[in-house]
């Protein structure tokens, strides 16, 4: 028996024959459509509208799948799938990282001997249910670990001008945020940390950028993204992103473009805004509020600074006049008392001095240094005289009179009449109203100007608050 006898050439199959038999076997085993669940990976789209991806048993991002099968969604079936998704409000999108439950036929592509699924429909509720369940579980864990409010406890800077922007570089969200801050006119400093915001690897990249941004010399982190389907925003419902926000050392703002659902990132962040534009406006409004408060306080201080010198001079003149009156009255009473009894004079002078000292103490702090010095010297001299009144009543009157003359000489230095002698003048209306500003005297107003010697009557022909008045 030869070696050739061991083999029957009639039993030998070609590769194509094997693949066709396998294809027929697959078709007989899966004669009807089946439902298959798994995670989408390696998704791609052809120019003819077909969609290709691998359906895998779920594993952490970056880990190799334990099992996978190729899926083809032909353009004709893609339109059917889209109608199913539309009926759910476009909350689901076929993309990498999304867990789906699909309906498909099992086929074997004979030329390559490859088994694949031809997708014919989808169950959006499965995907939404998975997302919801994962979200609820994550929220439960974060609450148990007291992380939901961790970032909210970080104080927002009074003037948040230095921003670390975490988004997809070059996206519409990126442009809207930048444009809004630039148009405000304030000196915002924006550091862009570009990252993917959807897909299988988005959660880890976003978390990495948040951690990196916390180490920068900034005031606030802003995580923004435009709107999309529920599955497009799935990255913001993941543990890596939520825990990164909770661990951030700077306040985190979320400006994710959704109007209905609230992501876990929104709940963990310091503040949640509905869109990237709204996030930028939030920062602008805080700066505007500080700017307004600062301007208002500056205006108040300026008003005080303008009125203070006039009010202080007025107070000095009033207190000096009052002091002069009190001293004259005291000396008059002392003169009368000296004639009757030295003892009575001592008591009266003592009481008068004590009352004057009490009144002076309440206002002394508001008097200018020059006037305060003069007044203090006068009271010191009055105190010295008190000890001599009992022994020499007659001498008290003479010395007090001398001191009064000295005080009156000092007070005369601030007398308006002295200013007139130096070339200044005092202008009033015919009713006696003192003129301090050109705004008080419209054209036609008759004025009386008091000089050191005589007065001048004039009529205003024009007035300008920025120039000197011109009179006929």
More confidently predicted of 312 and 85: 85
Identity of the highest mean pLDDT range in 10-24, 117-131, 200-214, 336-350: 200-214
Overall CATH class of domain 10-122: mainly beta
- CATH architecture of the domain formed by 133-274: 3-Layer(aba) Sandwich (3.40)
Question: How far is C-alpha 102 from the chain's CA centre?
Answer: 47
Domain 10-122 shares a fold with domain 133-274: no
Say whether pLDDT at 345 is over 50: no
Question: How does pLDDT run across 115-164, given as a tens digit for each residue?
Answer: 999 999 999 888 888 888 888 899 999 999 999 999 999 999 999 999 99
pLDDT at 342: 43
pLDDT at 324: 55
pLDDT at 25: 87
pLDDT at 385: 52
3-state SS record for 187-230 = CCEEEEEECCCCCCCHHHHHHHHHHHHHCCCCCEEEEEECCCCC
pLDDT at 156: 93
Taking the C-alpha atoms of residue 449 and residue 457, their distance in angstroms, rounded to an integer, is 6
pLDDT at 181: 95
Q: Name the average pLDDT for the chain.
A: 79
Residue with tokens 């050109």: 438
Distances (CA, A) of 242 to 218, 247, 265: 20, 9, 5
pLDDT at 470: 42
pLDDT at 118: 93
More confidently predicted of 8 and 139: 139
DSSP three-state, residue 460: strand
More confidently predicted of 170 and 398: 170
Topology given in CATH for the domain delimited by 301-414: 1.20.120
Per-residue pLDDT band for 202 (boundaries 50, 70, 90) equals: very high
Domains of the chain, residue spans: 10-122, 133-274, 301-414, 419-471
Say whether pLDDT at 349 is over 90: no
pLDDT at 334: 46
Say whether pLDDT at 182 is over 90: yes
Question: How does pLDDT run across 395-442, given as a tens digit for each residue?
Answer: 555 666 677 666 666 656 556 666 667 777 888 888 878 888 888 888
DSSP three-state, residue 163: strand
More confidently predicted of 280 and 374: 280
pLDDT at 111: 78
> Averaged over 227-243, what is the pLDDT?
88
Taking the C-alpha atoms of residue 323 and residue 325, their distance in angstroms, rounded to an integer, is 5
pLDDT at 471: 42
Q: What is the pTM of this model?
A: 0.54
pLDDT at 395: 59
Say how many C-beta atoms besides its own lie within 10 A of residue 391's C-beta.
10
């Amino acid at each position: 028996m030869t070696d050739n006898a061991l083999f029957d050439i009639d039993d030998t199959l070609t590769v194509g024959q094997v693949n066709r038999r396998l294809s027929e076997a697959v078709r007989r085993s899966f004669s009807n459509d089946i439902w298959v669940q798994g995670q989408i990976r390696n998704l791609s789209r052809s120019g003819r509208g077909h969609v290709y991806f691998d359906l895998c048993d779920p594993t952490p991002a970056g880990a190799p799948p334990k099992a996978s099968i190729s899926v083809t969604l032909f353009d004709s079936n893609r339109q059917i799938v889209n109608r199913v998704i539309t009926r759910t409000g476009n909350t689901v999108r076929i993309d990498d990282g999304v867990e789906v439950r699909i309906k498909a036929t099992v086929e074997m592509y004979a030329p390559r001997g490859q088994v694949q699924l031809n997708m014919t429909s989808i169950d959006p509720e499965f995907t939404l249910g998975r997302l919801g369940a994962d979200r609820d579980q994550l929220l439960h864990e974060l609450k148990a670990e007291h992380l939901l409010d961790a970032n909210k406890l970080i104080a927002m800077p009074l003037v948040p001008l230095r921003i670390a922007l975490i988004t997809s570089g070059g996206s519409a969200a990126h442009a809207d945020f930048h444009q809004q801050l630039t148009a405000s006119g304030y000196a915002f400093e924006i550091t862009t940390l570009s990252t993917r915001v959807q897909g299988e690897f988005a959660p880890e990249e976003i978390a990495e950028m948040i951690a990196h941004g916390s180490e920068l010399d900034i005031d606030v982190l802003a995580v923004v993204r435009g709107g999309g389907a529920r599955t497009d925003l799935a990255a913001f419902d993941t543990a890596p992103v939520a825990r990164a926000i909770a661990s951030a050392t700077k306040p985190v703002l979320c400006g994710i473009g959704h109007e209905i659902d609230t992501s876990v990132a929104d709940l963990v962040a310091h503040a949640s805004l509905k869109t990237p534009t709204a996030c930028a406006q939030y920062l602008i409004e805080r700066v505007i509020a500080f700017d307004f408060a600062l301007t208002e306080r500056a205006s108040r201080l300026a008003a005080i600074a303008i009125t203070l010198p006039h009010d202080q001079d007025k107070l000095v003149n009033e207190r000096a006049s009052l002091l002069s009156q009190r001293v004259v009255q005291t000396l008059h009473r002392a003169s009368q008392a000296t004639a009757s009894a030295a003892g009575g004079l001592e008591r009266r002078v003592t009481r008068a001095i004590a009352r004057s000292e009490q009144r002076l103490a309440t206002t002394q702090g508001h008097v200018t240094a020059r006037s305060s010095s003069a007044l203090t010297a006068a009271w010191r001299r009055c105190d010295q005289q008190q000890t001599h009144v009992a022994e020499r009543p007659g001498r008290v009157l003479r010395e007090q009179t001398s001191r009064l003359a000295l005080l009156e000489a000092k007070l005369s230095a601030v007398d308006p009449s002295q200013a007139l002698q130096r070339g200044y003048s005092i202008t009033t209306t015919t009713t006696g109203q003192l003129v301090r500003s050109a705004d008080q005297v419209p054209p036609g107003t008759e004025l009386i100007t008091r000089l050191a010697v005589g007065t001048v009557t004039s009529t205003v022909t024009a007035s300008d608050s920025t120039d000197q008045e011109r009179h006929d």
